[in-house]
C-alpha cells in the first residue's frame, strides 16, 4: 500500500516523498510510542519487569544463583552487552550444577514477545500455556523486561 501511495504522490507533484517500507509494525515492534485508542491500553512492554536479573554467557551458575536469590527473583535472562537475549534460566535451570556456565545451563533461544502485544492477549495465552514468565524484546532482540504471568493476569483483570 505505501509504495503505491508514495509513487502516486510523486505523480501528483510532490517533490520529496519517502516510503517507510517496514511500517507501523516495525515501529511498534521496536517499542516506540504510538498514539490512538490502543495506546491507552496496557501492553507487554509496559507491564514487563525491567529489573529482571541479567547475566552473561560466561558467568558461573553458582554465582548468578546467589545473586538472583538474594534479589528475590527465580529467573535470569542471559544477554550480551547489547542486551540481546541469548537464553533464559528459570527455577529448573538455576538448580543445575553450580560450576556450569550460564551458556551450559540456560534454555537457549527462548520464545520472546514484542512490547506492543496487548496485555489481555498475553494474559490469555500465558494462562492457556501455563507460562510463568516470558522475555519481552524489541524487534532487534534487545531485552525490554520479563513479563510475569501474575502481572499480566492482574493488569488484564484491572482493565476490564
**Cell 543445575, residue located:** 96
Q: How far is CA 144 from the centre of its chain?
A: 5
Residues 16 and 34 sit within 8 Å (Cβ to Cβ): no
13, 81, 97, 160: which one binds another protein (CB under 8 A): 13
CB of 123 to another protein, least distance (A): 13
Helix (H, G, I), strand (E, B) or coil at 133: strand
Cα Rg of the chain (Å, integer): 20
Site string for another protein, 37-76 (x = CB under 8 A): xxx-------------------------------------
**Cell 489481555, residue located:** 120
Contacts of another protein in 87-126 (CB under 8 A): 107, 110-111, 117-118, 121, 125
Q: How many residues sit close enough to another protein to count as binding (CB under 8 A)?
A: 48
**Degrees (nearest 5) of the Cα angle 139, 153, 112?**
20
Contacts with another protein by CB under 8 A lie at 1-10, 12-28, 30, 32-39, 107, 110-111, 117-118, 121, 125, 128-131, 134
Amino acid at each position: 500500500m505505501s509504495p503505491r501511495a508514495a509513487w502516486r504522490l510523486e505523480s501528483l507533484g510532490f517533490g520529496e516523498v519517502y516510503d517507510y517500507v517496514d511500517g507501523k509494525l516495525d515501529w511498534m515492534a521496536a517499542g516506540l510510542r504510538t498514539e490512538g485508542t490502543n495506546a491507552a491500553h496496557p501492553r507487554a512492554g509496559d507491564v514487563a519487569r525491567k529489573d529482571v536479573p541479567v547475566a552473561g554467557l560466561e558467568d558461573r551458575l553458582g554465582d548468578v544463583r546467589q545473586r538472583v536469590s538474594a534479589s528475590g527473583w527465580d529467573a535470569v535472562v542471559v544477554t550480551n552487552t547489547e542486551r540481546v537475549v541469548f537464553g533464559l534460566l528459570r527455577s529448573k535451570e538455576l538448580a543445575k550444577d553450580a560450576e556450569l556456565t550460564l551458556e551450559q545451563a540456560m534454555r537457549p533461544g527462548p520464545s520472546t514477545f514484542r512490547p506492543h502485544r496487548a496485555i489481555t492477549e498475553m494474559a490469555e495465552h500465558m494462562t492457556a500455556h501455563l507460562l510463568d514468565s516470558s522475555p519481552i524484546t524489541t524487534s532487534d532482540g534487545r531485552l525490554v523486561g520479563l513479563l510475569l504471568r501474575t502481572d499480566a493476569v492482574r493488569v488484564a483483570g484491572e482493565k476490564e
